[in-house]
Amino acid sequence: SISEHILDGASRALKKPNWQNRFDIDQIEHRLSRIRFLVKLTDPVDDIHGVAEDDEDDLVLATAVAANADFFLMTGDKYGSASASYGASRSSRRERFPT
């Protein structure tokens, strides 16, 4: 499962110069279309706010919760312990990484 927000982020990232040096725009659009075809679109839950320092990370977390996914969110946030503990409560594997 993936959200429209995550697909939009992938689209923006793939259209940056680093990727355009590797693939032409038609190849990028083809890959994005293929992803859309293969995945199940999921609307993020709306009750996850302020878990991660970055709102973008909250949207990824909200998508994982909506999809009932097993996950562990790793973030480079200064205060990543809040998001790590949220993910750990649903994860079968718990590890602590230095920030």
64: Cβ contacts below 8 Å, ≥ 6 apart: 71, 73, 87, 90
Q: Report the Cα–Cα distance between both ends of the chain, in Å, rounded.
A: 28
The model's confidence at residue 78, banded by pLDDT at 50, 70 and 90, is low
The model's pLDDT over 3-17, given as tens digits with 9 standing for 90+, comes to 999 999 889 988 899
pTM of the model: 0.64
The model's pLDDT over 22-46, given as tens digits with 9 standing for 90+, comes to 988 899 899 889 999 999 999 999 8
The CA distance from 29 to 60, in Å, is 22
